[in-house]
């Protein structure tokens, strides 16, 4: 089954009560976080809780896809974190990926544990990771990617702003690399989870850049992400009518048509077909 990534909700791996509530807000993906959300002193406990609760979540019929965010390849916690990946997990999210060698290291650990079925979500959140995005996302083990703006700007020595101009290039580069390699891309967090208007606005921009969804750090953000990244009934109907009109024109020997005041060619029709296809998968 193809995973949708409209809403990717994170929760601390050492908080079992919170993890068990993840399905309530109906995210497409639930990420049990062993990285930033867990203090170093609680890592071992978090692995045990994540493995136990994660197994419960994977058994829920129609529940979210379950990913575990492990610590970065260079981290002292990296190898031990695989013990926290439950049977049935869809994937692992790996922060601060900077090279093909990093992806190889994750894939080798999964293979050594007989977990070849576990997909890799690459976290691109450093200058080097974004710079090498196209090569990294070409790795056959990578099926999705998220862009982490906060760590990226910290690495750059820049300043985060509400306008997001400082990450426009990086977001675009990640979305482009994902598209080239057929990888689902997930946009940055909005730290102020009480500002729904900002979240919706950022999600709309992300959608326009080609992202498939958005990272969520609070359950209230999930419904907003799902709404933005789900084609509306009007969009679906408009796409259906456009495709039908174009297919009719093709049957009559025309490769472009005038439709509702616009000249329509294959490029616009591909977009309409993509909307129709996305609506069927959700």
Residue reference for tokens 């019929």: 61
Residue 56 CA to chain centroid, in angstroms? 22
SS3 69: strand
For residue 133, CA distances in Å to 67, 160, 181, 207, 254 come to: 21, 21, 10, 19, 39
281 pLDDT higher than 70: no
212: nearest Cα among 135, 272, 281: 281
For residue 101, give every residue at least 6 positions away whose Cβ sits within 8 Å of its Cβ, in sequence order, or none.
none
Helices then strands, counting H and E runs in the chain, come out as 12, 10
The CATH number of the domain covering residues in 7-228: 3.20.20.60
- Domain edges within the chain: 7-228, 233-281
pLDDT tens-digit readout, 37-69: 999 999 999 999 999 999 999 999 999 999 999
pLDDT tens-digit readout, 108-148: 999 999 999 999 999 999 999 999 999 999 999 999 999 99
CA distance 106 to 48: 20
For residue 111, give every residue at least 6 positions away whose Cβ sits within 8 Å of its Cβ, in sequence order, or none.
none
187: nearest Cα among 139, 228, 134, 127: 228
Any idea what DSSP says for residue 257? E
Tokens of 211: 């992202």
SS3 122: strand
Instruction: pLDDT band for 269, please (50, 70, 90 cuts).
Output: low
Measured from the Cβ of residue 65, the count of other Cβ atoms closer than 10 Å reads: 22
Instruction: pLDDT band for 1, please (50, 70, 90 cuts).
Output: low
> Would you say 176 and 183 are in contact if contact means Cβ atoms under 8 Å apart?
no
CA distance 42 to 22: 20
> Would you say 278 and 6 are in contact if contact means Cβ atoms under 8 Å apart?
no
**What pLDDT was estimated at residue 66?**
98
| Global confidence as pTM | 0.86
**What pLDDT was estimated at residue 30?**
98
């Amino acid at each position: 089954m193809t995973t949708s990534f409209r809403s990717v909700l994170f929760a601390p791996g050492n908080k079992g009560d919170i993890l068990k509530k993840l399905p309530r807000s109906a995210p497409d993906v639930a990420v049990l976080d062993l990285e930033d959300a867990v203090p170093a002193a609680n890592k071992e406990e978090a692995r045990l809780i994540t493995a136990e609760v994660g197994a419960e979540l994977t058994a829920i019929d129609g529940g979210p896809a379950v990913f575990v965010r492990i610590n970065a390849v260079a981290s002292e916690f990296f190898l031990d974190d695989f013990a926290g990946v439950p049977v049935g997990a869809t994937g692992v999210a790996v922060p601060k990926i900077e090279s093909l060698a990093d992806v190889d290291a994750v894939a080798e650990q999964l293979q050594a544990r007989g977990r070849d079925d576990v997909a890799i979500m690459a976290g691109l959140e450093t200058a080097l990771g974004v710079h090498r995005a196209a090569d990294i996302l070409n790795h056959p083990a990578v099926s999705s990617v998220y862009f982490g703006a906060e760590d990226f700007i910290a690495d750059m020595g820049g300043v985060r702003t509400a306008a997001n101009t400082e990450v426009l290039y990086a977001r675009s580069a990640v979305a482009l690399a994902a598209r080239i390699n057929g990888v689902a891309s997930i946009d940055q967090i909005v730290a102020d989870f009480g500002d729904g208007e900002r979240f919706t606005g950022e999600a709309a921009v992300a959608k326009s850049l080609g992202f498939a969804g958005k990272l969520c750090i609070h359950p209230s953000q999930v419904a907003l992400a799902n709404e933005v990244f789900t084609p509306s009934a009007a969009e679906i109907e408009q796409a259906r009518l456009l495709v039908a009109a174009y297919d009719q024109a093709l049957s009559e020997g025309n490769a472009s048509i005038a439709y509702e005041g616009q000249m329509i060619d294959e490029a616009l029709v591909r977009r309409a077909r993509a909307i129709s296809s996305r609506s069927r998968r959700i």
